[in-house]
Structure 1
Amino acid sequence: MGAAHWLALFAVILLAWGALYAMALPEELRATSRVYGAEFWAALCTLTPDAAGFLRITAMWMLMSAAMMAPTALPAFATYDDLSHSAETDFAALVGGYLTIWLGFSLGAAGLQFALYQSNLVSAFGDSRSTALSAMLLAMAGAYQFTPLKEACLSKCRQPLSFFMAHWEEGAFRNGLRLGAVCLGCCWALMLLGFVGGVMNLAFMGLATIIMVVEKLPDLGRWITKPLGLALLAASAWLAFGLG
C-alpha cells in the first residue's frame, strides 16, 4: 500500500499552516490600527464590507479549518485507510467528504464574522471588541462541553473503527461527510472561540488544535472535556464580572 496519499494529506496540512503563517498579523500592525483606527486596516484590506471581503474571509476560514481540523481526524483517516482495499481512491474521497463539511462551516463562520464586523462587535482582524460577546462565546463553548450531543459526537470520533463499520456500505465520500459532521459536532464551539483568541492569532490556533486533537483520543480525551468546559465557564464568568 503506497504512502502517496498520506504525503499529499500532510502537504495540505503544512501548506495550510504555511499560508496562515504568511497571513498572520504582526503585533506592530495591530498596534498601528489601534492608533489610526479601524479605517486604517480596512484600507489595507482584510475584511471589507463587500463581496471581495467576504470571499477573502471565507478563504481564511477554509485554511483555518484545513490546518486545525485535518490533524484531529488523522486517527480516523488511518483507520479507514487500514480497512480500505483501494487506498488512494477511497482515501481521497474520505478526506474530500470530510473537508466538504468544513467548507460549509467556513462559509457560515465567514458570514458570522462579516455580520459581527458590520455590527462593530469584532475588528477587521476578527478580534472581539465586545467583552459581552467574548463572555457569551466562552460560556457557550463551556456549556456545550457538558451536552449529550458533544459526548455523542466525541464517542464516534474516539471509536472510528465502530463508526466506519456501521456505515461502510455507504462508501468513502459519504463516510467522509459523516466523519466531518461528527467532528463539526465536537469542535464548532471551540472553533468560534477564534473571535475571542484572535482569528489570525497563530498561538491561539496552535493551542486550540492541540486541545481538539487530545480531546478526541480514546483514553486521555475523556479527562479533558469537562475540565475544559469548567475552565471556559470560569473564563466567561471572569469576563462577565469585569463588566460590572
Structure 2
Amino acid sequence: MGGVHWLALFGLILGAWGALYAMALPAELREGAAIYGDGFLQGLCIVTPDAAGFGRITVMWALMSAAMMAPTALPAFATYEDLGHSAETRLGALVAGYLGVWIGFSLLAAAAQMALFRAGLLTPLGDSRSGLLSAGLLAVAGAYQFSPMKEACLSRCRRPLAFFIAHWEAGPLRNGVRLGLVCLGCCWALMALAFVGGVMNLAFMGLATVIMVLEKLPDLGRYLTHPLGVVLLAASAWVLLTTI
C-alpha cells in the first residue's frame, strides 16, 4: 500500500483534532457559564444541544471518535497492511469499516446527550450537572475494566495479527467492522466518561486517548487495565461522598 494512504489517514486524524480544537469552548466561557448560568452561553450565541439539533451533536461525536479512536487502531492497521503485501489489502476499506462502527456509536452518544440534557442532567456543554450521574458513569467504567467482555476485546486488540488471520477471508471492509466492534467493546465505557470530563473538553480527550492507546499495547496495557479500574471506582466513591 502506498504511503499516500497513510498520509490520508494521518491527515484525517489531524483534521479531526483540528476541527475539535476550533469547536472547543474556551475555558473563560466555561467559567462564565458556571458563574452566570446557561443563559450566559445562550446570550453569546453558543450552540446548545437543543438548538443545534441531533445532526450537529452527532457530527461532534463523530469527530471525537475519529480523533480519539483512530490512533488506538494504528498498530492494527499497520498489521493488516503487512499481511497483504500488495494494494489488494485496501487499507481504506478497512479504515472505513472501522470508523463506520464509531459513527454508529456517535449516533447513540448524541441521542444519549440530547436525552440527558432534556432531563436536566447535562449542561448545554454536555458536562454532567448531577453528582449521581457522574458517580454512576465512573462506577460503570471502573467495574467494566474487570469484566470478561473487556478482557476478551482487549486480547483481540493487542493481538491484531492473530485476529486478522482468523478472519482474513472476510475482506477488508468486514474486517474493519469486526475490528471496530472489538474496539468499541474495549472503549465504550471510557468514551462515555466524556459526560463527566466534559464533552469537547480537549484536556479530557487528550488524556483519554493516551490511556486507550497505552491500554491496547500488549506489554504495557495489561499492567494498566485493572489499576485504572481501581482509580475509576475510587473516583466514583469520592464523587458520591462529596455530593451527598
TM range (shorter): over 0.9
CA-to-aligned-CA distance 1:82-121 (integer Å, 9 cap, x gap): 1124437610000000000000000000000000100110
Cα displacement (A) at 1:187: 0.1
SS of the counterpart of 1:135?
helix
Seen in structure 2, the aligned counterparts of structure 1 residues 48 and 207 have a Cα distance that, compared at 3 Å, is closer
Aligned AA for 1:197?
G
Cα RMSD after superposing both structures: 1.3
CA distance in 2, matches of 1:90, 1:205: 29
- Unmatched runs of 5 consecutive residues or more in structure 2: none
Paired residues, what number? 243
CA distance in 1, matches of 2:48, 2:88: 38
CA distance in 1, matches of 2:11, 2:198: 25
CA distance in 2, matches of 1:45, 1:27: 14
Q: Which residue of 2 aligns with 1:67?
A: 67
Q: Which residue of 1 aligns with 2:47?
A: 46
Question: 1:31-180 to 2 correspondence within 5 Å?
Answer: 31-42=31-42, 44-49=45-50, 52-87=52-87, 90-180=90-180
- Unmatched runs of 5 consecutive residues or more in structure 1: none
SS of the counterpart of 1:162?
helix
CA distance in 2, matches of 1:201, 1:88: 39
Cα displacement (A) at 1:55: 1.2
Seen in structure 2, the aligned counterparts of structure 1 residues 88 and 167 have a Cα distance that, compared at 3 Å, is closer
Cα displacement (A) at 1:49: 2.1
SS of the counterpart of 1:49?
helix
- What percentage of residue pairs aligned between the two structures are identical? 68
CA distance in 2, matches of 1:137, 1:202: 19
Contact 1:46 1:56 in 2 (8 A): no
SS of the counterpart of 2:50?
coil
Cα displacement (A) at 1:31: 2.2
Seen in structure 2, the aligned counterparts of structure 1 residues 41 and 222 have a Cα distance that, compared at 3 Å, is same
Contact 1:46 1:53 in 2 (8 A): no
Mean Cα deviation higher: 53-62 or 219-228:
53-62
CA distance in 1, matches of 2:144, 2:114: 24
CA distance in 1, matches of 2:89, 2:118: 43
CA-to-aligned-CA distance 1:146-170 (integer Å, 9 cap, x gap): 0000000000000000000000000
CA-to-aligned-CA distance 1:34-75 (integer Å, 9 cap, x gap): 34321332452423325x421111111000000000000000
Contact 1:76 1:160 in 2 (8 A): yes
Contact 2:49 2:57 in 1 (8 A): no
Q: Which residue of 2 aligns with 1:206?
A: 206
